[in-house]
């Protein structure tokens, strides 16, 4: 009798467990197909780079990692292309769920793109949907911005809503914060994370509070010096990652503080153009190009990012963009870092 009861109880537990497994699997498969694909790909690739999940880094340790991250060798191509997955993602909740396991297991690219997704959602949520602390729906946000002159923000608002409303409405503390993942990716030597961290270190003395402070909640940024920031930029540029090269343009004012403004602008266009030539996304819908066009730049319909740069060059008194790009490319290919004038 007792044996029969145990058998029945065991069978019941087993059936319930099977049902739960099947039900959850169906739900996950239907809602998070891209996430599952990323997860499976990550499992195939094995856990890349450094191991270790979420861990609190002390200020001292993190500071020391600025130097350590510089010594880490250039990014080894991983089997999972998180950059492309991030670019193609239209629902960042699925993307976040998909990269989370790899990020937790120490994949630095997964960590960086997890940061990128969470940060984009934080920033656009605050910018479009919580201005002056007021909660706005999608329609209200579009209406709110329609009163202002200049380029229309409607498409940007819709894009942000589509990507992020599920992230912002169902945010799970277990996902971690954007700052935490930026810190881990930077410590692990991810070049785009290094560039982002360097930029926030450069800005820190100039800005108190606001969006910059909100994005600077890491010991590396809080305690980093300009010398640290230059080291991070140098390490990122040495990887020759096209997106990191593009990001150099945004930091030239700090990297070359004594250069005249006109020269800085010309250098910036050259770095951006080189990044495009080396494979950075400079299409019509490249995120950077869309943002440029939202802020008063004279963009033309259906113009690509690279065409925009070519059109801008003569306006900035650059008549030899191709020659400048060729010269910069040669220095990058040759690893002539000291000739780039970036310090570090």
Partner 1 sequence: MIILVGLLRAAPPAITNAGEKIGQVNQEQRPFRWSRVLVCSTCETPIDFRNAAITANYTDQLPVTYVVVGDSTGMSSYVQVSGYWFYDPYSYNQYWTVNYAMPVDQNGLALSSDLPTAQAQMSVVDVGLFGFTRGPNSPKVATVQMPPDYDGSFIGSADEFDSPGIGRALALLGVDPSDFPVGSKLLVTYADGTKAVFQKVSMTSSYQSAWDGIHAWNANGQPIDRSGNVLANSNTYGGASGSTTYEETLDGAGAAAALWFIYENEQCTTTTNLSINGVPDASFSGYVPC
Direct distance between the N- and C-terminal alpha carbons of the chain, in angstroms, rounded to an integer: 78
Q: Are 50 and 105 in contact (CB under 8 A)?
A: no
Q: Are 204 and 228 in contact (CB under 8 A)?
A: no
Q: Report if residue 135 touches partner 1, rule: CB under 8 A.
A: no
Residue from 90, 146, 152, 315 that binds partner 1 (CB under 8 A)? Answer: 315
Q: Are 175 and 118 in contact (CB under 8 A)?
A: yes
Distance CA 166, CA 175 (A): 13
Q: How far is the CB of 86 from partner 1 (least distance, A)?
A: 15
Q: Report if residue 294 touches partner 1, rule: CB under 8 A.
A: yes
Residue from 208, 302, 319, 334 that binds partner 1 (CB under 8 A)? Answer: 208
Residues in binding contact with partner 1, number by CB under 8 A: 56
Length of the chain: 344
Q: Report if residue 303 touches partner 1, rule: CB under 8 A.
A: no
Residues 6 or more apart whose Cβ sits within 8 Å of residue 329: 274, 277, 278
Q: How far is the CB of 255 from partner 1 (least distance, A)?
A: 10
Q: How far is the CB of 194 from partner 1 (least distance, A)?
A: 16
Q: Report if residue 153 touches partner 1, rule: CB under 8 A.
A: yes
Q: Report if residue 234 touches partner 1, rule: CB under 8 A.
A: no
Q: How far is the CB of 164 from partner 1 (least distance, A)?
A: 12
Q: In this chain, which stretch among 75-83, 110-118, 126-134, 172-180 interacts with partner 1, using CB under 8 A?
A: 126-134
Which residue's CB is nearer to partner 1, number 97 or number 299? 299
Maximum alpha-carbon separation in the chain: 94
Q: Report if residue 342 touches partner 1, rule: CB under 8 A.
A: no
Q: Report if residue 44 touches partner 1, rule: CB under 8 A.
A: no
Q: Report if residue 295 touches partner 1, rule: CB under 8 A.
A: yes
Residue from 17, 46, 52, 131 that binds partner 1 (CB under 8 A)? Answer: 131
| Radius of gyration of the CA atoms of the chain, in A | 23
Question: Locate tokens 């290919």: which residue?
Answer: 333
Measuring CA to CA, how many Å separate 24 from each of 14, 18, 32, 41, 101?
Answer: 15, 10, 11, 20, 18
What number of H helices and E strands is found in the chain? 18, 0
Q: Report if residue 232 touches partner 1, rule: CB under 8 A.
A: no
Q: Report if residue 253 touches partner 1, rule: CB under 8 A.
A: yes
Q: Are 115 and 82 in contact (CB under 8 A)?
A: no
Q: Are 298 and 254 in contact (CB under 8 A)?
A: no
Q: Report if residue 205 touches partner 1, rule: CB under 8 A.
A: yes
Distance CA 52, CA 19 (A): 33
Q: Report if residue 207 touches partner 1, rule: CB under 8 A.
A: yes
Residue from 2, 76, 148, 301 that binds partner 1 (CB under 8 A)? Answer: 148
Q: How far is the CB of 133 from partner 1 (least distance, A)?
A: 9
Q: In this chain, which stretch among 4-12, 167-175, 310-318, 321-329 interacts with partner 1, using CB under 8 A?
A: 310-318
Please state, as a whole number, how many other Cβ atoms lie within 10 Å of the Cβ of residue 316.
15
Residue from 37, 64, 203, 277 that binds partner 1 (CB under 8 A)? Answer: 203
Which residue's CB is nearer to partner 1, number 30 or number 295? 295
Which residue's CB is nearer to partner 1, number 90 or number 315? 315
Helix (H), strand (E), coil (C) string for 30-56? HHCHHHHHHHHHHHHHCCCCCCCCCCC
Residue from 2, 210, 301, 302 that binds partner 1 (CB under 8 A)? Answer: 210
Please state, as a whole number, how many other Cβ atoms lie within 10 Å of the Cβ of residue 221.
28
Distance CA 216, CA 132 (A): 21
Q: By CB under 8 A, name the binding residues for partner 1.
A: 123-124, 126-128, 131-132, 147-150, 153, 156, 199, 202-203, 205-213, 225-228, 230, 249-254, 257-261, 264-265, 268, 287-288, 291-292, 294-298, 312, 315-316
């Amino acid at each position: 009798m007792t044996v029969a009861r145990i058998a029945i109880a065991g069978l019941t537990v087993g059936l319930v467990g099977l049902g739960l497994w099947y039900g959850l699997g169906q739900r996950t498969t239907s809602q998070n197909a891209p996430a599952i694909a990323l997860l499976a790909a990550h499992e195939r690739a094995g856990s890349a780079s450094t191991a270790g999940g979420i861990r609190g880094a002390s200020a001292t340790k993190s500071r020391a990692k600025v130097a350590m991250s510089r010594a880490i060798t250039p990014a080894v191509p991983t089997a999972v292309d998180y950059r492309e997955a991030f670019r193609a993602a239209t629902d960042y909740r699925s993307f976040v769920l998909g990269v989370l396991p790899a990020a937790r297991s120490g994949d630095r690219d997964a960590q960086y793109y997890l940061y990128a997704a969470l940060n984009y959602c934080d920033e656009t949520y605050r910018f479009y949907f919580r201005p002056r602390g007021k909660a706005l729906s999608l329609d209200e946000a579009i209406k709110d911005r329609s009163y202002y002159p200049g380029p229309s923000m409607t498409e940007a608002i819709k894009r942000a809503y589509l990507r992020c409303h599920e992230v912002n409405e169902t945010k799970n503390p277990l996902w971690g914060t954007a700052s935490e993942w930026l810190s881990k990716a930077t410590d692990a030597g991810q070049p785009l994370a290094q560039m982002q961290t360097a930029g926030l270190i450069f800005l820190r003395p100039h800005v108190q509070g606001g969006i910059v402070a909100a994005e600077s909640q890491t010991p590396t940024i809080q305690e980093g010096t300009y010398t640290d920031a230059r080291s991070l930029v140098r390490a990122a540029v040495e990887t020759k990652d096209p997106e990191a090269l593009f990001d150099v343009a945004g930091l030239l004012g700090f990297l070359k503080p004594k250069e005249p403004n006109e020269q800085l602008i010309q250098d910036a266009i050259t770095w951006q153009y080189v990044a495009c030539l080396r494979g950075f996304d400079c299409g019509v819908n490249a995120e950077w190009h869309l943002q440029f066009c939202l802020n008063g730049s004279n963009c033309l319909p259906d113009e690509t990012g690279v065409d925009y740069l070519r059109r801008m060059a003569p306006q900035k008194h650059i008549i030899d963009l191709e020659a400048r790009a060729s010269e910069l490319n040669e220095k990058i290919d040759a690893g002539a870092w000291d000739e780039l004038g970036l310090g570090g």
